[in-house]
Amino acid sequence: MAVLVAHGDRPREGVEAGQDRKVVDVAVGVLLRPDGDFLLTSRPAGKVYEGYWEFPGGKLEQGETVEQALRRELHEEIGITIGAVQPWRVEMVDYPHALVRLNFCKVFEWTGELQMREGQSFAWQSLPVTVQPVLPGAIPVLDWFAGERGFAGATLA
Amino acid at 118: E
The mean pLDDT of 8-24, rounded to a whole number, is 70
User: What is the spatial order of strands in the sheet that 38-42 belongs to?
Assistant: 53-54, 38-42, 122-125
Q: What is the tens place of the pLDDT at every residue in 91-142?
A: 999 998 899 999 999 999 999 999 999 999 999 999 999 999 999 999 999 9
- How are the residues of the chain apportioned to helix, strand and coil, as percentages rounded to the nearest 5? 15, 35, 50
The domain segmentation of the chain, as residue ranges, is 3-149
Q: Is 146 helix (H, G, I), strand (E, B) or coil?
A: helix
Fold of 3-149: Nucleoside Triphosphate Pyrophosphohydrolase (3.90.79)
Mean pLDDT, residues 2-13: 77
Model pLDDT, residue 6: 82
pLDDT tens readout for residues 70-85: 999 999 999 999 999 9
pTM of the model: 0.91
